[in-house]
Amino acid sequence: MKILICGQTGQVSRELQLRLAPSNKLFAPGRDQLDLAQPEQIRQQIRSLCPDLIINAAAYTAVDRAESEPQTAFAINAVAPGILAEEARVLDIPLIHYSTDYVFDGSKAGTYTEDDIPHPLNVYGTSKLAGELAITEVAGKYLILRTSWVYSTHGRNFLLTMQRLMQEEKELRIVSDQIGSPTWAGTVADSTHKIIERWQTGGAGKWGTYHLTARGETSWFGFAQAIGEALRQQGKPCANLLPIPSSEYPTAAVRPLNSHLDCSRLQREWSVGQPKWQDALHECLAAQA
């Protein structure tokens, strides 16, 4: 199968390429060949390639910088997904698109389901929600997969930042009142691979919007504690960690306090489940070693 993956070097894209390459013909162009901020370039690439499936693993993910660069964030996160959906519908092929927990404001007491009404707090979340709406308005064969707190062994993410800082500093202050599900990019790629296999073998569920994160929840402080414990088990130094409220760590973009997503619909409709976040972290660290 011929698959176009938007985003060549992103965390999820790299993991997707590892899993999909053995049995598919992949095209994962860099920004010089496929710039999602250039609508005509998107259309030209898709029409010349004529893929069997489009996976949009690219996004503007600089959450704080988006507050001062809304035009760029919306071009990549809102306009481009709509164009991808339009081209996919013309070819009568599926589009798999990744979105975010940041479409919610975090005020709910329990887990967020796909039926909860989004209310983003920042430009990044607003642009990602606009991308979701653009795809749903086209109404083709699409899967919008909302994930959260993505990390991996490459790129820029919380795991790698903490591993570095914990060995450089004696003490680190980590936010403890934001709750979510740390999700390894490999978990997202594994689940996506299973979804594609279900579709190819006639076992596809309903098209639409789903939540896809690791199981369980923790805070950024709890996530940092798990990373620190792994460092200690490897005999490496680790800074002393202190929990702090979000109010003591101001950022340009406001983050939701509750980012815990309910992923049961994906299990029901597509028979795709996810591992506990702790197990996925161990698997990621084993691959890093």
Q: Do 37 and 60 contact (CB within 8 A), yes or no? A: no
CA 104 remoteness from chain centre: 15
Among candidate residues 261, 7, 23, 284, the one with its CA nearest the CA of residue 148: 261
For residues 283, 285, 287 and 289, what is the CA-based torsion angle, rounded to 10 degrees? -140
For residues 110, 115, 121 and 127, what is the CA-based torsion angle, rounded to 10 degrees? 150
d(CA 41, CA 117): 33
Catalytic residues: 124
Q: What are the beta bridge partners of residue 218? A: 180
Neighbours of 35 (CB within 10 A): 17
Among candidate residues 56, 276, 76, the one with its CA nearest the CA of residue 187: 276
- Residues comprising the chain, all counted: 289
- The helix/strand count (H/E) of the chain reads as 10, 12
d(CA 169, CA 267): 41
